[in-house]
Structure 1
Amino acid sequence: MALPGRTGRPASALAPTPYDAELRTAARHLSRRRFLTVGAAGAALAFATGLPARGAFAAPRLDAARITEDPFTLGVASGDPLPDSVLLWTRLAPAPFTPDGGLGQQQVEVAWEIALDESFTRAVRAGTALAHPEYAHSVHVDVGGLDPATTYHYRFRTGAWISPTGRTRTAPAPGAGVTRLRLAAVACQAYHDGYYTVHRHLAREDVDVVFHLGDYLYEYAVDSAGGARGYTDRVLPSVFNRETTTLADYRMRYALYKSDPDLRAAHAAHPFVVTWDDHETENNYAADHDENGSDPALFLARRAAAYRAYWENQPLRAGQLPDGPDARLYRRLHWGTLAQFDVLDTRQYRSDQAYDDVPHAPGPETDDPARTLTGDAQERWLLDGWASSAALWNVMPQQVCFSQRRLDLGDPAKLSMDAWDGYRASRARLVAGAKAAGVDNWLVLTGDVHVAYAFDVKDDFDDPASATVGTEFTCTSVASGRDGTERPANWDTYMRANPHLRFYDGRRGFLRLELNRENARADFRTVPAVTVPGAAVSTAASFVTEAGAPGLTPV
């Protein structure tokens, strides 16, 4: 979702960077070979832009004893918990606001350990990994041989430096009759729009796992005062005061975001399951189309850089490592027999937005069955996963509003073309697929819109009396949109125009969701301000949906 007052700029207006020539080379290379497969195009982009290829590890080794500044400035993280393993992450950067993080083009050996206690007297696994310059000195360790449903503590060491300690948790054993899961969902954390107070509170929550639903990073310029943060005690480097387009830009922008202590605290406290939306690359892009109508080959070069930097800076396994401009981010996780999570990617494979991506009433383009939000392969994967699911709750973490959202009181009303409303046939296939698979307890988790919503998912959104087939919880933003307000100016219009919309709040915050064998309870946690640090958190509203009886009840 574009931030208020932000509009796309023509590519020619972007500030020049050292990588511009390489991006142009990539564009020319692909333009001559438009018949290439995606995989071959990815290889071409890797060559043309200088993106490191898999296995390109010829850099010399740095003696870690020579590192004189703390290399763990970007913190630690864990992610994608499985019953017997979890992914541990860190990225070495003693000088995080420089293109190479202060380590040059040298490999660094990093030791890791994981234990049952925070003092590491009950260590269970340990080893070493190499931080490669080709991957911005990031470290991704897939630790196996762990016990299911167990809390662990982990840390890294290189030279004389020891990282902060992180806490993580494995998923329950396959088929385990789990009775309870507590999770949180967050999204949309524009650094320049405010402090990460939400993450500070999230770090203190008693949850098993956190889902980040996209817009972890924004491509927009950040001025020397940090935008709405209004710093008076520091001056941010001018390198951030431009839109991100190159690999170096994206890497340093992640360093800026992860320099925030509250974000680092949230990552250290809980395992994260992450998926991207648009701003990790560029506002409202669709597959190989950017918002400015650039040559797709040029945009794919930018997408390759953005995807690579995303993987480098997130707790993701090798299976999500991009191949040029392509990455398999959609994936499935389980929490015993209590929950199945089908994590979607609604950006990489979608058809271009209908009606030039401006609000529009439903029409032939929105209802065209050939248009897709997920792509055919991901849609088949999702429907097949539902058909074979043995979980009580089938949860679909994804990015944009799934439920119909009429934007006015017209007849017909205008809808958002970037959300599922712009891909109505694609949405109808999922609703039909959920019904055919007998998915009785379908939960959709959504980000993107910088407000909190609770929807009854209807069999036919144009008929308020039609059956409720699921529930959608939209978490508000961490910071994007600045402070917000409890009732935005369009609150009354939206509530009247959408009878299936049960809750709407415009403040910043996160969603806390508890699943058990009887029901799912959602608590919308909000803060009154993010443009000043330290705001308190409170629960704005709570809803329950009973197992086997879709529909929201306030509590």
Structure 2
Amino acid sequence: MAFPGRPRALAEHAFSPHDAVLRAAARHLGRRRFFTVTAAAAALAFSTNLPARGAAAARELDAARLDKDPFTLGVASGDPLPDSVLLWTRLAPEPFAEDGGLGQQRLTVEWELSASEFFAVSVRKGTALAYPEYSHSVHVDVKGLDPGTEYYYRFRAGSFISPVGRTRTAPAAGTDPSSLRLAAVACQAYQDGYYTVHRHLAEEDVDVVFHLGDYLYEYAVNAAGGERGYTGTTLPDVFNRETMTLADYRLRYALYKSDADLQAAHAAHPFVVTWDDHETENNYAGAVPENDVPQDQFLARRAAAYRAYWEHQPLRSAQLPQGPDAQLYRRLHWGTLAQFDILDTRQYRSDQAYDDRPHAPGAESDDPARTITGAAQEQWLLDGWKSSGALWNVMPQQVTFSQRKFGLTADATMSMDAWDGYRASRDRVMAGAKAAGVENWLVLTGDVHVAYAFDIKENFDDPDSKTVGTELTCTSVASGKDGAEKPDNWDTYMRANPHMKFYNGKRGMAVVEIGRDSARLDFKTVAAISTPGAALTTAASFVTEAGAPGLKPA
């Protein structure tokens, strides 16, 4: 259905990045911070190609002159609040060109929100500017909406109309919703196979999707698309290199978001996203790169990666990076049923102990000064639990929280990149949950390319100690290729970690239905992603009761 005439711009709903960025950058880099950041990173924080004003502003392209569909990367929505939701798109008529095919011209984009997928009546509509400085991405924070309501949205540029997206707002604060159904996904290396999981996710009946990191991988993608093995089609050479620059990261997001199955998942549900390492570089730790390169070079790379991430995700202006820094941790609510504390365990962490090699816990990994969250985020988390009035406290984050021994001996090694490498940090968080009286604690985790279900134990070395929460890892969408239902180390892991109640190595997702009496966890997998079209099956189901933590088969 065609849009009506050009709608009046609604300034309170259409986010213009330029207005806030300069003020925020000046506040963010005070004198003390300025001298602790490298010159290159500081320069990025103040002058990362901000949208210009006046005579210096980019020339505006008449949208009527567009002769190619600019909505090649789909639409998305995210971070639902009771009265607002964030809508996203990026205009790129030539998605595999560095400038997306729009050069350095800005473009006016119309947007529309309706209660009907047929757009019989508009609930909200307006215009937003797509700036070349932000890769012609559009972030519209639509406010004044009804809580707990499903909406449909679309964009228009010239004669081209985007795909229709479906989204929803969160329930009103203080209300008592009876249930919430969410999906958790992570780790989608494009070159490892097809996004069959995302196609199934688009068809799932869920209220919201949590993407727990590794949305992007920095590694080169060859002309055949890796395991996808294109026939008769080749990818351009721009993808056959590791991402290092802002242009590299933008192009890689264009490749990922060109996938029809990923677009379908975003169009079907609002997403809540957080990053892990590969959106920037494998296993980086704060300002410490994986390899021995100068820190200023790495922070310049991190600034580029963070910038491109924001440009391509349904995130509000509060998450807009300033140079190599961005506050991605944030809090959402679902009435009184659930509080979501979305963590960033990558940007603020101490360097991994023991050179990031699997190692038994020791003085280095157990140093109380070490942190995986940073002091400010840790305090924010604990304070949020103290003031929480939610029945369930859900902690979406990146790396395995529960203890995970790799062998059967007393000195078995563990991952120094996960919370096992930051045991003092984990102890403080667990003590904070206990002090706050958190009874129904659910941790959502990505990263490991397998599905786990854990009882979180007060003392992981004592199977009879109190169970204080539940953790699930959602396996991967594509990373790790087809995988195996029982990996080679299955028996060892299950025996070494009695609090591990499930382990599966296939590709898939986790679906969690949270109610007032219990939460149900369904681990859903596909047989293969090396070819498209595999069916989705439920590999295992568990329940954990409110007020009585501990996983039981459903």
Match of 1:171 in 2: 170
Q: Does 1:283 align with 2:298?
A: no
| Deviation digits for residues 131-155 of structure 1 (CA, Å, limit 9, x no counterpart) | 0000000000000010000000000
Work out the CA distance in 1 between the residues paired with 2:70 and 2:118: 21
Offset of residue 122 of structure 1: 2.2
Q: Does 1:323 align with 2:309?
A: no
Q: Sort the Cα spacing of 1:298 and 1:34 in 2 relative to 1 into closer, same or farther, 3 A.
A: farther
- What secondary structure sits across from 1:510 in the alignment? strand
Match of 1:523 in 2: 522
- What secondary structure sits across from 1:201 in the alignment? helix
Offset of residue 233 of structure 1: 3.1
Percent identity, please.
75
Work out the CA distance in 2 between the residues paired with 1:34 and 1:110: 37
| Deviation digits for residues 478-501 of structure 1 (CA, Å, limit 9, x no counterpart) | 000000010000000000000000
- What secondary structure sits across from 2:484 in the alignment? coil
Offset of residue 410 of structure 1: 2.0
Match of 1:23 in 2: none
Q: Is the 8 A contact 1:198 1:478 kept in 2?
A: yes
Q: Which amino acid aligns with 1:284?
A: N
Work out the CA distance in 1 between the residues paired with 2:115 and 2:443: 34
Work out the CA distance in 2 between the residues paired with 1:54 and 1:387: 41
Match of 2:464 in 1: 465
1:236-315 correspondence runs (5 A): 236-315=235-314
Work out the CA distance in 1 between the residues paired with 2:258 and 2:145: 30
Match of 2:347 in 1: 348
1:542-553 correspondence runs (5 A): 542-553=541-552
Q: Sort the Cα spacing of 1:398 and 1:55 in 2 relative to 1 into closer, same or farther, 3 A.
A: farther
Work out the CA distance in 2 between the residues paired with 1:463 and 1:510: 30
Work out the CA distance in 1 between the residues paired with 2:77 and 2:64: 26
- What secondary structure sits across from 2:461 in the alignment? coil
1:358-507 correspondence runs (5 A): 358-507=357-506
Q: Does 1:196 align with 2:198?
A: no
Q: Of residues 50, 54, 79 in structure 2, which corresponds to 1:53?
A: 50
Q: Sort the Cα spacing of 1:356 and 1:93 in 2 relative to 1 into closer, same or farther, 3 A.
A: same
Offset of residue 250 of structure 1: 0.2
Q: Is the 8 A contact 2:192 2:481 kept in 1?
A: yes
Offset of residue 293 of structure 1: 2.2
Work out the CA distance in 2 between the residues paired with 1:87 and 1:35: 32
Offset of residue 62 of structure 1: 0.3
Q: Is the 8 A contact 1:46 1:53 kept in 2?
A: no
| Deviation digits for residues 406-427 of structure 1 (CA, Å, limit 9, x no counterpart) | 0111221100000000000000
Q: Which amino acid aligns with 2:226?
A: G
Q: Which amino acid aligns with 2:429?
A: L
Match of 1:155 in 2: 154
Work out the CA distance in 2 between the residues paired with 1:91 and 1:38: 31
Work out the CA distance in 2 between the residues paired with 1:540 and 1:228: 24
Offset of residue 34 of structure 1: 9.4
Work out the CA distance in 1 between the residues paired with 2:241 and 2:36: 33
Q: Which amino acid aligns with 1:538?
A: T
How many aligned residue pairs are there? 522
Q: Which amino acid aligns with 1:358?
A: R
Match of 2:228 in 1: 229
Work out the CA distance in 1 between the residues paired with 2:278 and 2:105: 31
Work out the CA distance in 1 between the residues paired with 2:62 and 2:43: 34
User: Given the two structures, how large is their TM-score scaled by the length of structure 2?
Assistant: 0.93
Work out the CA distance in 1 between the residues paired with 2:151 and 2:330: 24
Work out the CA distance in 1 between the residues paired with 2:39 and 2:384: 29
Work out the CA distance in 2 between the residues paired with 1:133 and 1:145: 29
Q: Which amino acid aligns with 1:405?
A: R
- What secondary structure sits across from 1:239 in the alignment? helix
Q: Sort the Cα spacing of 1:86 and 1:255 in 2 relative to 1 into closer, same or farther, 3 A.
A: same
Match of 2:204 in 1: 205
Work out the CA distance in 1 between the residues paired with 2:404 and 2:48: 40
Match of 2:17 in 1: none
Work out the CA distance in 1 between the residues paired with 2:61 and 2:33: 41
Give the superposed CA RMSD.
Answer: 1.5
Q: Is the 8 A contact 2:453 2:502 kept in 1?
A: yes
- What secondary structure sits across from 1:507 in the alignment? strand
Work out the CA distance in 1 between the residues paired with 2:37 and 2:127: 34
Work out the CA distance in 2 between the residues paired with 1:550 and 1:52: 50
Q: Which amino acid aligns with 2:482?
A: D
User: Given the two structures, how large is their TM-score scaled by the length of structure 1?
Assistant: 0.92
Q: Is the 8 A contact 2:39 2:296 kept in 1?
A: no
Q: Is the 8 A contact 2:365 2:422 kept in 1?
A: yes
Match of 1:6 in 2: none
- What secondary structure sits across from 1:478 in the alignment? coil
- What secondary structure sits across from 1:130 in the alignment? strand
Work out the CA distance in 1 between the residues paired with 2:180 and 2:552: 20
Q: Sort the Cα spacing of 1:39 and 1:386 in 2 relative to 1 into closer, same or farther, 3 A.
A: farther
Work out the CA distance in 1 between the residues paired with 2:493 and 2:354: 22
Offset of residue 123 of structure 1: 1.2
| Deviation digits for residues 299-323 of structure 1 (CA, Å, limit 9, x no counterpart) | 0000000000000000000000000
Work out the CA distance in 2 between the residues paired with 1:466 and 1:492: 23
Which deviates further from its counterpart, 151-160 or 462-471?
462-471
Q: Sort the Cα spacing of 1:35 and 1:73 in 2 relative to 1 into closer, same or farther, 3 A.
A: closer
- What secondary structure sits across from 1:506 in the alignment? strand
Match of 2:19 in 1: none
| Deviation digits for residues 90-143 of structure 1 (CA, Å, limit 9, x no counterpart) | 000000001000000000000000000001012110000000000000000000
Structure 1 unaligned residues grouped into runs of 5+ = 1-29
Q: Sort the Cα spacing of 1:551 and 1:529 in 2 relative to 1 into closer, same or farther, 3 A.
A: same
- What secondary structure sits across from 1:423 in the alignment? helix
Offset of residue 51 of structure 1: 2.4
Q: Which amino acid aligns with 1:112?
A: W
1:71-150 correspondence runs (5 A): 71-150=70-149
Match of 2:26 in 1: none
Offset of residue 53 of structure 1: 3.0
Q: Sort the Cα spacing of 1:66 and 1:285 in 2 relative to 1 into closer, same or farther, 3 A.
A: same
Work out the CA distance in 1 between the residues paired with 2:179 and 2:528: 32
Offset of residue 226 of structure 1: 0.4
Q: Which amino acid aligns with 1:354?
A: A
Q: Is the 8 A contact 1:39 1:323 kept in 2?
A: no
